[in-house]
Amino acid sequence: MSSSDKPEVVERDVKDEEKKDKDKEEGKGGFIEKVKDFIHDIGEKIEEAIGFGKPTADVTGIHIPSINLEKAELVVDVLIKNPNPVPIPLVDINYLIESDGRKLVSGLIPDAGTIHAHGQETVKIPVVLIYEDIKNTYHDIKPGSIVPYRVKVDLLVDVPVIGRITIPLEKTGEIPIPYKPDVDLEKIHFERFSFEETVAVLHLKLENKNDFDLGLTALDYEIWLAGVSIGGAELTKSAKIEKSGITYIDIPFTFRPKDFGSALWDMIRGKGTGYSIKGNIDAETPFGAMKLPISKEGGTTRLKKDGDDDDDEVC
C-alpha cells in the first residue's frame, strides 16, 4: 500500500474539510450576530431619535365630593405621562374597588380620551358606592363603620411602534358607612309663658353612632307638639361630637300655645303630649362634609305641676 493510501492522509483531508465548514459556520454566525447588533443599534437610534417609549401613570388622589346615608361618590385621579412625540389614545380603563378581597364595585370606561404628545393629563374616574347594595351583599359591614378599600385600575393604551400595553395601578384608603345621629329632646325650659306667645329653650341631645368624629357646623330643624308645628329654623352651631359620643345643644324658639287647642290643656293637666323633631345636621368629618338627617317621633312631654321646676319633662 502506498503512502497515499494510508488512513492518516484521509483523516487529514476530513479534518481540513471540518475546519473549513467550521470556519464557514463561524463566519456565518458572526455575520448573523453582527446583523442583530446592527439592527439593535439602529432600533435604539431610531427610538432615541423619535423618542418613543412607554407612558407612565400614578394614582395621585382619591376624593369624596359627596357622601350621605345612601351613597358615596368617589373620584379617582390618575396622572398619565406621555413621553412620545405623538398623541396616544387611552383605549380603555378598567377599575375595581374591593374591601378585604371582596368586590364593592367595578366598571369599564371605553375610549377614555387621548394623552397629548410629550404631555401629561389627569384622568378622573368617577365611582359611586351604593351602601344598600354593599350591606345586602356583605352583612358584616355595619352602618357607622369605617371600611378599608383597595382601588385597582388597569389602563390600556395604544403606543405607536410599541403597540398596546396595560398599565396596572393600585391605591388603598378608607371609606365610611355613615349612620344618622340619634336625637332626643331632653327637656324644655320655659323662659316666658303666655297664651299669646311662649319663649322657651329646647335642650337637645345628639348621639354620634359613627366610628369617626362629627364636627357640627349647622343644624336645621322643625318641631311638632301635639301634631302642631311650633316652628323651625336654621342654627349655626359649632360643636364636636366625638365618635360614639354625645353632645347637647340648646335651641331657642317661640310659639303660640293657644294654637294647640285641647292639647294645651292636656299638657297643663299633666297629661303627656306627643312631640316630633325632624331636620338635618351639617358636619365636617375626616372624609369630607356630610349632611345627615335627624329625627325623633313618638316622644311625649308635659308641663310640670305647681311647685316643680319650670322645666318640661320629656319621656
Contact 120, 77 (CB under 8 A): no
* Mean pLDDT of all residues in 138-161: 90
d(CA 283, CA 300): 28
Place of cell 405623538: 86
Of the listed ranges 45-54, 162-171, 229-238, 298-307, the one predicted with least confidence: 298-307
Mean pLDDT of 14-37: 56
Q: What is the pLDDT of residues 166-175, one digit of tens each?
A: 999 999 999 9
- Domains of the chain (ranges plus CATH)? 56-176 (2.60.40.1820), 182-314 (2.60.40.1820)
Q: Hunting for cell 323662659 — which residue is that?
A: 191
Give how far Cα 312 sits from Cα of 183, 191, 206, Å.
17, 11, 18
Rounded distance between C-alpha atoms, residue 277 and residue 230, angstroms: 10
> Taking the mean position of all CA atoms in its chain, how far away is CA 124?
13
Tens of pLDDT, residues 84-135: 888 888 889 999 999 988 999 999 999 888 899 889 999 999 999 999 988 8
Cut 0.75: pTM above it: no
Residue 35: is it exposed, middle or buried by C-beta count within 10 angstroms (0-12/13-18/19+)? exposed
In this prediction, residue 6 carries a pLDDT of 42
